[in-house]
């Protein structure tokens, strides 16, 4: 135990520290409960998005296989090169219970044939359909990246809050209470010793007074 000065002022200070530590623990618990609720809410969204992404990705892959099997390979290859482009995203942030999470500005990547960079003439509907499905897949991937990042950061914050609560509850508060108990016991023992000495002195004075009266 840390060495403490067993005085009444120190006891008052320790009790104030205990009260402050308990209030901090309770606030952290409330924050952790709110974070856990938000975590599970986002987790449902992530789970649904993953299922949807898997469905769209499978559909896009099937469309690509059909196009590869039916359409002219040269046309398909030229279309794939034409549609290559740089993707830029606007990312800003927001706070969830003090936790910074990214927000990706929603942009749909579904485009017409001309916007994709190739002429619709000489391109089958199968190729257009394949492009649309892969663009839809890209939309889902970007949205999922946002929610999964938020989920990960919330999970990290929950773990950090749990460690803080455990440190307060299992280390700091018990140590402060043990110190306060030690001070209280020491003060009590000191007061009993003082009282015993006072009684002893009082008896000695009474004896002297009686001897003086008898003389």
The model's pLDDT over 102-146, given as tens digits with 9 standing for 90+, comes to 887 766 665 555 566 666 666 777 877 888 888 888 888 888 988
C-alpha 21/C-alpha 176 separation (Å) is: 9
In the chain, how many domains are there? 1
pTM over 0.75: no
Which pLDDT score is estimated for 107? 60
Residue 3 included in any domain: no
Where does residue 105 fall: left (phi above 0), alpha (psi -120 to 50 degrees), or beta otherwise? beta
CATH number of 51's domain: 1.10.287.3240
Q: What's the average model confidence in pLDDT over 73-87?
A: 69
| Tokens linked to 157 | 């914050």
| 86 three-state secondary structure | coil
Degrees, nearest 5: CA angle 29-34-39:
120
Residue 193 is part of which domain span?
Answer: 8-214
1 within some domain: no
Res. 85 pLDDT band, cuts 50 70 90: low
Give the pLDDT of residue 212.
73
pLDDT tens, position by position, 45-79: 999 999 999 999 999 999 889 888 887 787 777 77
pLDDT, tens only, 10-54: 999 999 999 999 999 999 999 999 999 999 999 999 999 999 999
Is there a domain that residue 63 lies in? yes
Specify if 2 maps to a domain. no
Give the burial class of 206: count Cβ atoms within 10 A of its Cβ; 0-12 exposed, 13-18 middle, 19 or more buried.
Answer: exposed
Separation CA 148–CA 88 (nearest Å): 19
| Residue 165, in any domain of the structure | yes
Q: Does any domain span residue 207?
A: yes
Is residue 12 in some structural domain? yes
Whether residue 56 lies inside any domain: the answer is yes
């Amino acid at each position: 135990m840390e060495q403490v000065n067993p005085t009444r002022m120190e006891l008052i200070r320790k009790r104030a520290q205990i009260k402050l530590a308990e209030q901090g623990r309770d606030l952290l618990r409330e924050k952790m409960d709110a974070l856990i609720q938000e975590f599970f809410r986002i987790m449902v969204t992530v789970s649904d998005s993953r299922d949807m992404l898997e469905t769209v990705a499978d559909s896009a892959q099937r469309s690509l296989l059909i196009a590869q099997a039916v359409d002219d390979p040269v046309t398909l290859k030229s279309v794939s090169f034409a549609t290559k482009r740089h993707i830029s995203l606007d990312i800003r942030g927001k706070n969830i219970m003090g936790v910074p999470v990214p927000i990706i500005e929603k942009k749909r990547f579904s485009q017409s044939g001309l916007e994709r960079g190739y002429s619709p003439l000489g391109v089958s509907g199968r190729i257009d359909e394949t492009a649309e499905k892969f663009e839809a897949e890209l939309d889902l991937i970007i949205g999922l990246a946002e929610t999964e990042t938020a989920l990960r950061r919330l999970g990290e914050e929950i773990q950090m809050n749990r460690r803080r609560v455990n440190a307060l509850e299992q280390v700091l508060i018990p140590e402060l209470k043990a110190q306060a108990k030690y001070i209280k016991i020491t003060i009590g023992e000191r007061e009993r010793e003082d009282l015993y000495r006072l009684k002893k002195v009082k008896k000695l004075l009474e004896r002297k007074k009686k001897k003086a009266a008898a003389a």
